[in-house]
């Protein structure tokens, strides 16, 4: 445990280090610790639970298990709170606060005397925030994710947050479900602790941090309420003790090769579009540039291997029972960089060399017989998205992949909600719905609003999908022919802000193109103005520093290498 300093690390400045340590120990003694305990390596346990975060409500029990692991391995576990980001409780959107949470975690790891840290996280933004903060802090760390919720039943039908939330809401909007029925569904969608039950953003990010080597092998998919989750927590405490003083910091684990492994995994699991933003931001904290061109290259060579909602039929608990992420990584093995390190101290190759458990092929397909031949996500470029846009082809209708359509434009979220169900709205199923001013630089701060509802009059006529384009994001649990993250966004002067109803747009997934069929001269004549700068506080810092989606929506000054001013 060379390098473990325990409470002697980072003394408070009084001009007398011996006095500072004496004072720190005397105050620590007021918490009832013995001298023996206070001489141990210190393992911080970052607790992101909150009354505003249903997904993390089992953290008190998990924290007890982490402490058990630390104590048994000879360390002193000290819990500290962090910001919590409960996805549906935050306004305008949780993404706005991801960087704030990452800053909180980075600074508190660095400011407090800990030799290593276990970071509890789970709900969508908390996983990237924890890893971004840990990477920047540079102290040995392991993440520990919440694990997914279990699915439930309603009138015999299996359902779970949140793909089914959207499926039932769409039925309700189409008049296929009555008010009392949707109220019943509401109480059956999220019925246990843990993160959303499908391969949404939370489970995607959990899978990616396992592929990156930043959680213990085999722990991404363990359901939140399963006893194995507590065993994983205990083992994470012990792992943190092994990391303490080892010099194995997150930046030695999150290498370019590991990021590429994570990108492959994202494609193979048909994961959330949000993960492209988060992985780009994580890579940026490690000094690695992740390009959307590379995403396209890997997408051509990496098939979708899991049959999970929202692209398939199953839930996260089925993935766990089928063999977990380890079984997926084993299939991907020929495509992975195997010498990448994990927080367990071994390499990915050593991990995957262990004898394989039986795999349920209904959920995890072999590489040679995939669920879908190509990766779930592609990046599009063109005159409407000069710096890229994301399209989740695995969750879209292939009949809409090569298409030209008339734009029906909504200038903001407010405009969308005011007019989308207007019976007078001129719209046909062949049109492209376009939402502006919902990107990272907008006051809306890039909400998950890219899943534009089908106009009610079309939904009631049986239309279930149409092309929808925005600078917003989409929930990882959503599906449809949806083009997201159009960059630059409208609020920073991107072409999407100058589209007008009646313009023609051409989408070609085959050519990876998204083009606005309006001449540059005509486009330049159209008016555009940036939104007003917030007067104060974090909102102002956010607006001043937020980078576009192609840079992971991090703050420039938090990147390992800040970008030059444009
Ligand atoms: Fe927390 Fe979905 S709301 S993971």
Residue 92, preceding peptide bond in cis (omega within 30° of 0): yes
Query: Is the model's pLDDT at 290 over the cut of 70?
Result: yes
pLDDT in tens, 139-162: 999 999 999 999 999 999 999 998
Query: Is the model's pLDDT at 447 over the cut of 90?
Result: yes
**Once rounded to an integer, what is the mean pLDDT over residues 49-73?**
98
Query: Is the model's pLDDT at 477 over the cut of 90?
Result: no
Query: Is the model's pLDDT at 533 over the cut of 70?
Result: yes
Query: Is the model's pLDDT at 428 over the cut of 80?
Result: yes
Give whole-number Cα distances, 53 to 87, 119, 317, 476, 538, in Å.
8, 16, 21, 18, 21
Query: Is the model's pLDDT at 435 over the cut of 80?
Result: yes
Output the CA 340–ligand 1 centroid distance in Å.
29
The pick from 57, 191, 196 for probing ligand 1's pocket by mutation, whose C-beta has the most ligand atoms within 8 angstroms, reads 196
The CA distance from 275 to 13, in Å, is: 40
Contact present, 33 and 76 (Cβ < 8 Å): yes
DSSP state of 244: T
The pick from 53, 55, 448 for probing ligand 1's pocket by mutation, whose C-beta has the most ligand atoms within 8 angstroms, reads 55
The pick from 124, 164, 220, 272 for probing ligand 1's pocket by mutation, whose C-beta has the most ligand atoms within 8 angstroms, reads 124
Q: What is the pLDDT of residue 416?
A: 97
Nearest-CA residue for ligand 1 atom 3 is: 87
Query: Is the model's pLDDT at 163 over the cut of 90?
Result: no
pLDDT in tens, 220-278: 999 999 999 999 999 999 999 999 989 999 999 999 999 999 999 999 999 999 999 99
**Residues in the ligand 1 pocket, defined by CB under 6 Å:** 55, 87-88, 123-124, 161-162, 195-196, 200, 202
**Once rounded to an integer, what is the mean pLDDT over residues 53-67?**
98
**Once rounded to an integer, what is the mean pLDDT over residues 39-68?**
98
In the chain, what are the domain boundaries? 40-150+192-352, 152-186, 377-531
Output the CA 96–ligand 1 centroid distance in Å.
16
Tell me which residue of 302, 250, 247, 218 sits closest to 130, measured CA to CA: 250
6: Cβ–Cβ under 8 A, 6 or more apart, which residues?
A: 38, 39, 40, 41, 42, 76, 113, 115
Contact present, 117 and 70 (Cβ < 8 Å): no
pLDDT in tens, 166-202: 889 989 988 999 999 999 999 999 999 999 999 999 9
473: Cβ–Cβ under 8 A, 6 or more apart, which residues?
A: 95, 273, 274, 277, 446, 447, 448, 449, 450, 484, 485
Atom of ligand 1 nearest to the CA of 86: 1
> In which band, very low, low, confident or very high, does the pLDDT at 356 lie, cut at 50, 70 and 90?
confident
> In which band, very low, low, confident or very high, does the pLDDT at 475 lie, cut at 50, 70 and 90?
confident
Q: What is the pLDDT of residue 457?
A: 93
Q: What is the pLDDT of residue 166?
A: 87
Atom of ligand 1 nearest to the CA of 122: 4
SS (H, E, C) 318-337: HHHHHCHHHHHHHHHHHHCC
Q: What is the pLDDT of residue 281?
A: 98
Output the CA 230–ligand 1 centroid distance in Å.
20
Q: What is the pLDDT of residue 162?
A: 86
Q: What is the pLDDT of residue 1?
A: 58
> In which band, very low, low, confident or very high, does the pLDDT at 108 lie, cut at 50, 70 and 90?
very high
> In which band, very low, low, confident or very high, does the pLDDT at 541 lie, cut at 50, 70 and 90?
very high
pLDDT in tens, 317-353: 999 999 999 999 999 999 999 999 999 999 999 999 9
Contact present, 472 and 435 (Cβ < 8 Å): yes
Which residue bears the tokens 């800053």?
A: 103
Q: What is the pLDDT of residue 2?
A: 58
Atom of ligand 1 nearest to the CA of 195: 4
The CA distance from 268 to 374, in Å, is: 9
Look up the CATH number of domain 377-531.
Answer: 3.50.30.80
Query: Is the model's pLDDT at 542 over the cut of 80?
Result: yes
pLDDT in tens, 377-417: 999 999 999 999 999 888 888 999 999 999 999 999 999 99
């Amino acid at each position: 445990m060379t390098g473990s300093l325990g409470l002697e690390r980072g003394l408070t400045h009084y001009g007398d280090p011996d006095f500072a340590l004496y004072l720190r120990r005397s105050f620590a003694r007021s918490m009832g610790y013995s001298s023996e305990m206070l001489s141990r390596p210190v393992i911080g346990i970052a607790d992101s639970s909150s009354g505003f975060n249903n997904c993390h409500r089992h953290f008190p029990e998990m924290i007890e298990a982490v402490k058990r692991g630390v104590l048994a391995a000879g360390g002193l576990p000290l819990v500290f709170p962090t910001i919590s980001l409960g996805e549906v409780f935050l306004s305008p959107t949780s993404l706005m606060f991801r960087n704030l949470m990452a800053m909180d975690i980075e600074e508190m790891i660095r400011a407090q005397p800990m030799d290593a840290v276990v970071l509890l996280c789970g709900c969508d933004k908390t996983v990237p925030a924890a890893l971004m903060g840990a990477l920047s802090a540079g102290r040995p760390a392991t993440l520990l994710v919440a694990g997914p919720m279990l699915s439930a039943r309603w009138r015999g039908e299996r359902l779970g947050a949140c793909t089914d939330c959207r499926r039932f809401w769409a039925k309700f909007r189409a008049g296929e479900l009555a008010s009392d029925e949707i109220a019943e569904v509401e109480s059956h969608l999220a019925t246990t602790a843990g993160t959303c039950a499908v391969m949404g953003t939370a489970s995607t990010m959990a899978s990616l941090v396992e592929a990156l080597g930043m959680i213990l092998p085999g722990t991404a998919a363990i359901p939140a309420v399963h006893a194995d989750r507590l065993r994983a927590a205990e083992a994470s405490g012990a792992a943190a003790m092994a990391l303490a003083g080892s010099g194995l910091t997150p930046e030695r684990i999150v290498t370019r090769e590991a990021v590429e492994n994570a990108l492959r995994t994202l494609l193979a699991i048909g994961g959330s579009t949000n993960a492209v933003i988060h992985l780009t931001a994580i890579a940026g904290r490690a000094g690695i540039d992740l390009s959307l061109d590379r995403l396209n290259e890997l997408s051509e060579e990496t098939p979708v291997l899991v049959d999970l909602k929202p692209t398939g039929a199953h839930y996260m608990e089925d993935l766990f029972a089928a063999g977990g992420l380890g079984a997926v990584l084993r299939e991907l093995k020929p495509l992975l960089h195997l010498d990448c390190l994990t927080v367990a101290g071994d390499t990915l190759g050593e991990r995957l060399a262990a004898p394989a458990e039986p795999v349920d092929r209904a959920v995890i397909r072999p590489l040679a017989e995939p669920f879908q031949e190509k990766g779930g996500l592609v990046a599009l470029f063109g005159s409407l998205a000069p710096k890229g846009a994301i399209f989740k082809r695995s969750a879209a209708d292939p009949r809409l992949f090569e298409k030209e359509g008339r734009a029906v434009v909504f200038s903001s979220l407010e405009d969308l909600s005011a007019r989308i169900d207007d019976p007078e709205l001129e719209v046909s199923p062949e049109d492209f719905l376009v939402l502006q001013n919902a990107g990272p630089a907008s006051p809306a701060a890039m909400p998950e609003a890219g899943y534009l509802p089908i106009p009610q009059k079309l939904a009631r006529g049986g239309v279930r999908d149409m092309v929808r384009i925005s600078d917003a994001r989409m929930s990882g649990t959503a599906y449809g022919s949806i083009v997201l993250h159009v960059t630059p966004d409208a609020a920073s002067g991107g072409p999407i802000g100058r589209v007008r109803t009646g313009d023609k747009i051409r989408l070609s997934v085959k050519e990876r193109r998204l083009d606005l069929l309006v001449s540059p001269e005509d486009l330049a004549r159209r008016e555009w103005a940036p939104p007003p700068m917030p007067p104060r506080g974090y909102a102002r810092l956010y607006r001043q520093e937020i980078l576009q989606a192609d840079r992971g929506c991090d703050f420039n000054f938090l990147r390992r290498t800040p970008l030059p001013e444009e």
